[in-house]
Structure 1
Amino acid sequence: MTDTMPEAPSGAVADKYVTNFRDNGFTHIPNVLTAAEVARFRNAALDTIEREGVAAGMGMGVGRTGIVTTAQAYRKPGILRELARHPRVGAIAEQLSGISLRVFNGDAQIKPPGDETDTIWHDDLTFAPLRGRILLNAWIALVDVPVERGCMTFVPGSHRRPDPYRVPLSAARENPNSFLFTGWPQLSWSPRLTVPVRAGDATFHQWRVGHTAGPNRSAEARIAFITTYTDAETTYDPQPGLELPGLTAGARLSDDDYPRVAEFG
């Protein structure tokens, strides 16, 4: 696996965002959704989470965050499935990565007001049972997310850190609050960038960049939708505790369960 990516196709966003993504491992793109889309998807997120929300899984037993999420909304008929397959968001993701992608996951997420728990510092690769060229997340704000509401913070350029390429999932389970900086001590001294976003904005980050999200000290819920994309040719690489039903090691992901961005219309 490598972090060297081909030239990106043009068209979805300005080239400066591609450069930011390649150099820093993430980029912030304003106005990815229109105001009307934000309102429609936000209402759907609130309704779906009220009916079938589940506790988020990134706590790793630490801090007991109150984040609630939908359960595989990208697979279920409805408005949120439309957002997971949004043609513009998918086009941006492919432009940033420069390769053909498919959706690996997509869910709405709410962090309630007064939730003082930070998301653990992590990279997404540690929690991905995949082998491919890239995995990236589009973190789409459905409300304004200033610093006090728990926006994202990144370690710029941390996707280019030296080996080990990834740490075992067991390391994250044993030391959830420190595994990123234990595995790569040099990151402790790296600058960090906090990125507040407006409703309709999105941050896109790739799977090796270190990141966290802060507590929600505001009086309003933080509402976002996270679509996860991966290389269209990615294969299943099971990790202990991260198995996908119906797949064998080395198998490619199916188009039915993990649709290709090229199929969005």
Structure 2
Amino acid sequence: MTFTDKAHAAAEHIVQDFRERGFTHVPGLLTADEVTRFRAAATETLAAHSHTDDEFGTRITATTDAWEHHPVLRELALHPRIGSLAEQLAGMPLRVWGGEVLRKNPGHSAPTGWHDDLTFALLDSRLIFNAWIALVDVPAERGCLTFLPGSHRRGGPAHVELNEYKSDPDNYLFTHWPELHWNPRVTIPLRAGDATFHHGRTAHCAGANTSTEDRLSFLVTFTDADATYRPLPGHDPLDLSPGQPLPDHRYPRTPRPHGAR
């Protein structure tokens, strides 16, 4: 199914998929013309504002607050079609928390180990989740994402401390939840313009880029509209106070298509 501007309501199976499995695949979220335009903006921003992860060995090159620096990427992060779908998946009002370009270079990348995004979250929120949007074709050999279905519904603490990830980034989830070893694993190759949406607590990983072309994607992070700021021990990067509601001017509510209710 192709998701177009005319589709004001997400297909029921997409919503159910996200809530039951903790992730869902949405083909054709962006049109071909949109992909071309946003890919050009992503490449431009990577050249101007980016860093490469060497600390944890993934070698992913990422931007820093790309959606705040580049008007075209801000347009992507605040795309009404994407925001409307996100709110239907969540079943609650949301705001946009972030938007970054991610690149895995061919021949110089490494696998991204198993993790969940709540490990790194700087928020108290009922729900945090990501839209991972492919700006190029991402077959398995280019490092697409693999998920553990239903892992967002596991018991125990909501998240583990960041220092546990730092001490054992590849195994920390399995140390706390050894039953995750036996979860089925679902790998989702994407065409340019496709997206996956995944819950912040869903365990996932990505392979190395063993192809001959860059893997290029854009990550939009959504959070509950009533979320508040919660710095992590030793990691307080924002000029916000602990417990402060997120300011609307910097983290706006998700927009909806014109005429949507």
TM interval, shorter chain, is: over 0.9
Residue identity matched to 1:155: L
- Structure 1: how far apart are the matches of 2:50 and 2:158? 34
Q: Deviations over 1:68-126 (max 9, x none)?
A: 12220111242111111111111111110011111111011111111341112100001
The aligned runs of 1:96-135 (5 Å cut-off) are 96-135=89-128
Say whether residues 1:62 and 2:56 are aligned partners.
Answer: yes
Residue 168 of structure 2 is aligned with which of 156, 164, 175? 175
Residue identity matched to 1:54: H
Alpha-carbon contact 1:127-1:242 (below 8 Å) kept: no
Residue identity matched to 1:188: H
Question: Unpaired segments of 5 or more residues in structure 2?
Answer: 1-6
> What is aligned with 1:4?
none
Say whether residues 1:257 and 2:254 are aligned partners.
Answer: no
159-168 or 243-252, larger mean C-alpha shift: 243-252
Say whether residues 1:139 and 2:136 are aligned partners.
Answer: no
- Residue correspondences, number: 252
> What is aligned with 1:5?
none
Say whether residues 1:160 and 2:153 are aligned partners.
Answer: yes
Alpha-carbon contact 1:100-1:262 (below 8 Å) kept: no
Say whether residues 1:210 and 2:198 are aligned partners.
Answer: no
Question: Unpaired segments of 5 or more residues in structure 1?
Answer: 1-9
TM-score (ref. length: structure 2):
0.92
Give 1:244 shift: 3.8
Say whether residues 1:243 and 2:240 are aligned partners.
Answer: no
Displaced runs of 4 or more, over 6 A: none
Indicate the SS of the match to 1:19.
helix
Residue identity matched to 1:210: A
- Structure 2: how far apart are the matches of 1:98 and 1:141? 24
> What is aligned with 1:6?
none
Say whether residues 1:45 and 2:42 are aligned partners.
Answer: yes
Residue 151 of structure 1 is aligned with which of 144, 156, 178? 144
Q: Deviations over 1:14-42 (max 9, x none)?
A: 11000000000000000000000000001
When residues 138 and 41 of structure 1 are mapped into structure 2, their CA distance, relative to the original with a 3 A threshold, is same
TM-score (ref. length: structure 1):
0.91
Q: Deviations over 1:177-212 (max 9, x none)?
A: 111111111101111100001000000001100001
- Structure 2: how far apart are the matches of 1:67 and 1:87? 28
